[in-house]
Structure 1
């Protein structure tokens, strides 16, 4: 693990000099992979970074059109920066009773693998963008900022990821300022992995930044999911059965917990008799009339209505030994003004 060189005496000197504005930020990590074109704005100056360069708390890290980098922090958090990316380290404290990792992204794309800070302080890790605040409690995810939007891709998680209060399951993405969780596509996975490739001067050849299983140090490597969203898989013979299945489950975001149910024809995959019950206690709302289909592993149900509101659900479906399981994202829209009223994730199974 990377250790700070500030001992007690140096820290006392730093505190003494801070009033005079001459104390530099504490080192909190180092570059472990890069492609030329990476700088740190530090004490009003641009410092070029290369292999094993230290990274300081309050640094603003930037990459140009060709620059990319992977940073290993003291707590084993790993951040991979794509090209044309700006990331400000606002608070990085690995030790003490309340460790914290707060960064702000101005533009570009970055992948995060959380470390020990999340283990010690689940609420202490956040990424802020112009459109979103991402709260992380143990995960591997990526953030892309540009063209007036922020997209968060959750590639793996052991706990929970909230984006502006919306729970995003593993294998899903959400685009802000308005949007609901939707399944990641192969193109999304390629975008995330391809945008954070780098190369080391030692080899001189382009290489993929270390994946979760090979990252230097001891990052959190998910083994089980607190919530178990369904990954894309073909249902195959499962939908050649006959009869109907009743599927029900929960609607979840950071504020509300509601419910849903619908019937699935196991021969055709058609979905009917859908009901969504919002968890908003101030204005409880049961929407009916949901209909749609399951095709392959893709689930789409819409047409839920009540008063001036409509709802829809999209995600994935799969069969296992217990029957049919579904998960994905939902949204409820006010038809009178077209505004998104509520969004979040859903999960359920055959009853």
Structure 2
């Protein structure tokens, strides 16, 4: 059976726990977390909250649960709605949990290419006490923005958004509209901006932080906010089936991620840029990238050839044919190269890097990409 070199760039969720994580997990001191007696979980929650400048934290199995809990706490009154971007993960890829589990309506705002949305549109969309309408109780921002290509939502936008929802007359009665950040990759944003995560999240009432994407822990996210917020989220977590027992074996990996992996994120960004530059330099009429928009560890490879689907491009990257081996598109041992990319019904294929994609794997991916794009350029040459 032929063995190929595989470079898996489908998502940073395929990252693997590090050796230090595995060792820390094996040695973790544990207790019953439902009773609040797991010291490793307590340490992870307290450390994460402190890093983000919040009062408390809650370890949850997934970012989806973290986001849902935030919606449930902030939109506790029946007949409320949350405003989210139309390209946000919460709206597109969390199965509509806000509606069918929490009874909260999601209303969308058009995401701009940089992951923001119009604050003027937001202001117009806020709804109050009209008996015909739901009550706007929450606004959600995704940071970094996945479908917008790992864009780092600018600090200036976040500051203006916070100022808007705190204006007199915005909100219902004495209730202020809450701000939640889906911060699945917020550490990538902090790395790109050169600021701490506490600055990015300063004006947000809650933040959900994923440990199992680029931080490479096997499971889990941490939801942070005020003590009162986390108390209610803790209660609701139990209702969602998120009450875990001796879960310090998982939280231990999160502690290592904060110490060991966060400092490595800048290399992920550099390697993503290197792949982007290689594709851009081909000057292909069929496949390209917007080089200036590459800001973190996500790269959107744009399919400009109307006869080519992103899914077809992704499939071709995963296949090794005899011709490319003969052409030297191999690793140092002469094995073919498989590149795994993510593609749905998008006009692009998505590549996502993480710290276990090293320089050698990046070079292999570039070699494969150049060859496959070259094939398409022969099939559809520039006219």
Q: TM-score range by the shorter chain?
A: under 0.3
Higher relative contact order (CA 8 A, sep 6+): 2
